[in-house]
Amino acid sequence: MNRLGIFYGTWTTEYNADFMKYTKKAADAGFDVIELMADVIDGMDKQSRKDLKSLGDDLGIGFTFAADPPAQYDVTSPETGVRDRAVEKLKGYLRIVNEFDSHIACGIVNGVWNSKIVDSKEEHTKRSLDSMRKLMPLAEELDVDICLEVVNRFEYFMLNTCREALAYIGQVGSRNLKVQLDTFHMNIEEDSFEAAILEAGDQLGYFHAGENNRKPPGTGFLPWGEIFGALKKIDYKGVVSLESFVEKGGDFGESCSVWRDLMPGSDIDTEVVKANRFLRRMMAN
């Protein structure tokens, strides 16, 4: 059965959060993996990172890392110096993944989340491809899969469908560059959940599970039977990670446009346990 993960932002609205606390919460709620932001880890001192990894080892919790860079590190920038600094920043993220004995760097590694087009999508994509080709040798050396998240048109412009991501990966030509699909974004952009997952096939490296409205899985109307049936058809063995944003305010509330509390009065600890059980039933069936 797939390992089941959870993004720490399901519990908090802030990027810079107590990762020790949320790693414990992930274990208490029955998850196998916690997804953290590499940029926040990058700002921690070495002993704090060592303590966090030790806690994960003690609890049996693995780590994956969202490697979305801040705006000043844009691998698609028209400025060569910015792109070069961005590639070096991302290399640092890959070393963090390796430091935690992980193999997954996910998110919008190919650009900057919520950024806008400066000249054209095509020119941004060309510069992104050039930067990614410079990054992939280290990913291959460290055995880290970079999983490019396919997101909706309102959050980023470059890769909105699985097909676009596969075309991008084909132009880079590295075995360690994979697709990351997310059911919330797929519901907006794809014609079919099943068709997109089948098209991804063995190029699918990471999978986010969240409802049509960003609530936890099992609370909305997404066709989870179809989704997990397709994952079974391609024999997907990777992590399925719950990602949900339900509380307004803070870093995530602003970034993900959560302008109202989506589950007022609910206890999020209870809700994630329910979602865990739901996803495990789906995986088992």
How does DSSP classify residue 258? -
In CATH, what number is assigned to the domain containing residue 133? 3.20.20.150
Q: Which of 139, 153, 209 is nearest to 180 (CA)?
A: 209
pLDDT in tens, 218-267: 999 999 999 999 999 999 999 999 999 999 999 999 999 999 999 999 99
* CA dihedral of residues 10, 15, 20, 25 (deg, nearest 10): -10
Q: Which of 235, 162, 242, 227 has the alpha carbon at shortest distance from 194?
A: 227
For residue 142, pLDDT over 90 is answered with: yes
% residues pLDDT > 90 (the chain): 99
Query: What would the pLDDT profile of 180-189 be if each residue is shown by its tens digit?
Result: 999 999 999 9
Structural domain of residue 192, as residue ranges? 4-284
Catalytic entry in 149, 199, 211, 247: 149
Q: Any catalytic annotation for residue 243? A: yes
Sorting pLDDT into bands at 50, 70 and 90, what band is 102?
very high
The tokens describing 35, both together, are: 């997804």
110: pLDDT confidence band, cut at 50, 70 and 90? very high
Task: Name the active-site residue from 35, 199, 243, 271.
Answer: 243
pLDDT higher than 90, residue 197: yes
SS (H, E, C) 52-92: HHHHHHHHCCEEEEECCCCCCCCCCCCCHHHHHHHHHHHHH
Average pLDDT value for the chain: 97
Tell me the mean pLDDT in the region 31-55.
97
Residue 1: pLDDT above 90? no
Of the pLDDT bands very low, low, confident and very high (cuts 50, 70, 90), residue 148 is very high
Token duo for residue 192: 């079919």
Give the pTM: 0.97
Residue 26 predicted with pLDDT over 90? yes
Burial category of 43 from C-beta neighbours within 10 Å (exposed 0-12, middle 13-18, buried 19 and up): exposed
How many domains are there within the chain? 1
pLDDT digits (tens, 9 = 90+) for 66-84: 998 999 999 999 999 999 9
pLDDT for 175 equals 97
Cβ neighbours around 60 below 10 Å, total: 8
pLDDT band at 174 (very low <50, low <70, confident <90, very high): very high
Examine the pLDDT at 62 and tell me if it is beyond 90. Answer: yes
